[in-house]
Structure 1
Amino acid sequence: MRISYKIILLVFFSMQLCLCRLSYAQVTSFKDIRLLSQNHPDSAIMLVKKRYAKAVADKDLLVQASCLQAIGWLCVNQGHYGQAQDYYFQADRIYTQLNAKQLLASNWSDIGELNIFNKQHDLAKIYFNKALHSFRTAGDKNGEASVLGNIGHLFEKVANYDSAFVYQKRALSIYREVANKNGEAKIHENLGSIYEDLAKYDSAFYHFEKASDLYRETKDNYGLIVVLNNMGDIFRKTNRFPESIKLTQSAYQMAEKLGDVYQMAATTKDLSKTYALSNQPDSAYFYAERSRKLVLELYSVDGARHTAFFQALYDMNQKAEEIEKLQVTKKINLIMLWGTIVVLVLLIVLSYVLYSRQKIKIKNQITESRKQEAERELTEIALKNQLLEDKQLKQELTLKQKELTSHTLNLIRNNQFLEELRDELKGMVKDERRDQKRQMQQLVLQINENITQGVHWKEFMGTFERVHHSFFEKLIQRFPDLTAADMRLIALLKINLNNADIAVLLGISQDSLRVARHRLRKKMKLEQGEDLAGYLLTVS
C-alpha cells in the first residue's frame, strides 16, 4: 500500500515521540515542538505562542521568524494550508531582512512542500530550486539532500518518473556521503514507492527491504512500520498472500504497541484486502470491521485536536492583533494630531481657492454653453446634409437600376432582332442559288458571333457593377475559376431574369442554358437542391 506524503508527515514524528516518551517539560527546540504537535497540536501551538510573545517582547526577530515558520508547519500538519502560507511568508520577510540564508532556505523548502499539497507544482519547483541553491552555497549537505528528495517527490507527483529517479538517487548519494542513515532509509522508501507505481515489484521490494534494514539500525520504528506495510503490499500484489499477511500483521503489532492509530487503521485495512483475496472471508471481515472502528476513533480524536488547535491559534492571533492595534493606535493618534493641523491649513487655503474657482467656473459654464449651442447647430446642419446625401444616393441608385433594366431590354430586343434576321437568312439559304448561299452563310455566322457581344453588353456590365458594387470581386475571391461567360450568366441571374430571356440574351438554346447553369453550380460547389439564383441574391 502506498502511504500518502501527507500522512507520512502527519505521523512520522508522532512515533518518535512515543519512543522517546517526550514530556512537555522536555520540549526545548522547534524540532521537539514538531514532535509534540503530532499527538498534542494544541500544546504545541501554546508553546510556540509563549515563545513568540517573549520574542516580540525581547524584539528578537530571528526567534519571531522561527516561531512563525513553526506555526506554518503546524498548520500544514493539521491540513490548514491557507493559514500556513501566511505564516511562512511572514517568516520569509523576516529571514530576508536578517539575511539568514540557511533558515530562509529551510523556509523555502517548507513552502515548496506546502505547494505540493496545494497541487501548485510549478510554484513548488521554484521554491525547491531556490532552497537547493542556498543550501549548496552554504555547503549544507543534509539540507541539499532533503530538497533533492522533495524535488524527486514532486516529479513523482506529476508522473515524471525518470526525473524522479534522478533526484532521489542524487539525494541518496549525498546522504551516504554524510552517513545520514535515516535520510538514506527515507530515499530507499521513496524509490520503492516509485517502482511500485510502475509495477516493478522486484525493484520496489529491494528498496523497501533496504529501507527496513536502515530503519532498524536507526531504531526508527515508525519508518519501519510504513516500510513493512509497503512490503506486505508488494507480496499481496504478486499473489504471495501468506508472506503479505505475515509482514502486514508485524506492522500492525508494532503500530498497536506504539499506539499509532493511523498505521493501525491502514494495516488492518490492508489485512482485510489480503484475507479477502486469499479466500478467508471471516478474517477479511474481522479486519475490515477493526479498520472501520479505528478510522472512527481517529476522526473523533482528530476532531478534538483540531478544535483545541484552532482555539489556541485563535487566541494567539487575537493577542497579536491586540499588540498590533496598540501600535497602530499610537501611530494613528500622532497622525491625527498632525492631520488636524494640516486639515485646518488646507481648509483655509481651500476656501480661498473655491471662491476663486467658483468665479472661473461660472465664466467657463457660460462659454461652454455657447460652445455647445454652436456645436448643436453644426450637428443639425450636418444631419440635414447627410439626409440630402442619402436621398441623392437613393435617387442615383434608382436611376442606375432603371438604366440597368433599359440595357437589359435593349440587349433582349437586339438579340431577338438578330435571331429573327438569322432565321430569315437561313430560309433564304434554302431557297436561293448556290453562289448566294455562301454569302448568306457567312452573314449568318457574323450574326451568330455578334448576337451576344457588342456595345450593349459592355454598357450592361458597367451599369451592373455600379448598382451591385464589388459583387464580382467577392465572387472571384470565393470562386477564382469563374470565366467571363460565367459572369454574364451570374449577372442575368442576379437581376432575376427568367430562363427564356437569359437564353435570348446569351444567344443559346434552353438546353444549353441548363448545361451552363449546371456547370456554374459545380464551380460554386452548391449542394443538390440548393437554388442557384437564390444563392446569388444572398451575395451582396
Structure 2
Amino acid sequence: MLYFNKALKTYIKRKDDKIFIASMHNNFGMCFNQLNKTDKAIQETLEGIEILESKKKLNKEDLLFITAMKVNLGKYYLKQDDYKNSYTFWNEGFEFYRKIEQYNSDFMFVSQKLFDMYEKAGQNDKRDRLARFLIEIDPKIQYLPDKITLYEMLQNYYLEINDREKQKTFSKKILHLITLYNEKNQKELAQVSDLLNDYLIKSINQKYDYEVNIQKKNNWLVLVSSLLVITVLAVSFINVRKKNKKNKELAKKQELTLNQDIQSQKNRIKNLQLSLNLKIEMEKAFLENLKQIKKTKNLNAEEVVKNLIFKINNLLEIDRKNNDIINESYTENKMFMEKLSERFPVLTDQELQLCIYFKLDLSSKEISLLENIKDVTARVYKANIKSKMKLEKETDLTLFLNTIR
C-alpha cells in the first residue's frame, strides 16, 4: 500500500498516462480485498474505472484493463453476497471478451462464474446457451490449461443434466489433454535442464578463461609499467647531473606524463577487475535464484519453467548482445542524455534513462529485468516517448536514437 501510494503520487505529479493512475487504484482495491475490507476495495476499483474511462480515446489496452477491473469488482461484490452486481460486471466482461474473440484464462474465469450463477438461479436455458457457445469456440482455444478448464466446465454441466455420452466424451478429452500437458511440461523441463547445464559449464569455462586473461594482462601491464618507471627514473637521474636547468624541467615534464600514463593503466586494470566482479555477481545471483526455486514448495510447474526459460534467455542475450552495457562509459551515457534532453526537454529522467536501453535495441523483457518493471510498462513507456518526440508510429525508435550525436 505504501509503495503503491508513492507510485500514484509520482504518476500524478508527472501527469503520466491515466492507465498508470488507474492501475494504482486497482492495486489498492486488491490490497483492501486481501485485508477483507471489501467496501474499500469496491470504492478504489470503481475510482480506477472512472479515471480510465474519462480518457477521450480508449485503445484496446485501456479497454482490456477496464474489463479486468470490472471482473475484480464481480469478485468483491460476490464476497458481499451481492449477486446482482456481481453478475452485471462478470457478464460485461464475458461479452467484451466474446466481442474481441479473446478466449483466454480471464474469459474462462468469467464463464465459470456465470455457469455457477445460472445453476444457482435455476436458469438452465442460459446455461445451455453458454455450453453451446463454449463448444463453438473450442477450436479457437489453443492454450492447453484453458482448454482443460473448458472441458471440465462442459463435463460437469453434462454430468449434472445426466447426459452421460457427452460427459464421457469430455472426460476422455480432459484425460488426453492432461497427458499432452504433462508430456509438454516434461519436455520443457528436460530442455531447461539441458540449457542450465550448458550455461553453467559455459559460464565456468568463460570465468576461468577470463580470469586467466585478466591476470596475464595485469602481469604484462605491471611489468611494462615497472620497466617504464625504472627507465624514466634512470634517464631523469642522469639528466639531472649532466644537463642544465632546462633539461631538468623537461625531465620533470616527462616524469609527470609517465605518472599520468601509469595512473591510466591502473585505472584500466581496476575497470577490468570491476567488470570481472560484475559478471561473477550475475552468475551468483542466477544460482541463488535456482536455489530459491528448489526450496520453494507448491510450485506451478508451468510458471517456473517459463520463468527459468525467460531468465536463461535473458542472461544469454545479455552475454551475447548487450555486453556493452556492462562496460559502457558513464560519460558517453551522460552526454547522450544531455543532448537528448536539450532536443526533447519534455522527456522525464526515467524516460531519458530508458532511451539508452532503446538505443541498444533491448527488448521489453530485458528492460523489465534491468529496471524491475513489467514488460508491458516498458512498451507503454516506449509509446509515450515516441509520442513526446512526435515520431510516426512506423518510425523505428532505435534507429532514430542512434542518429543523435
State TM-score, norm by structure 1.
Answer: 0.34
Normalised by the size of structure 2, how large is the TM-score?
0.44
Q: Which has the higher contact order (CA 8 A, sep 6+)?
A: 1
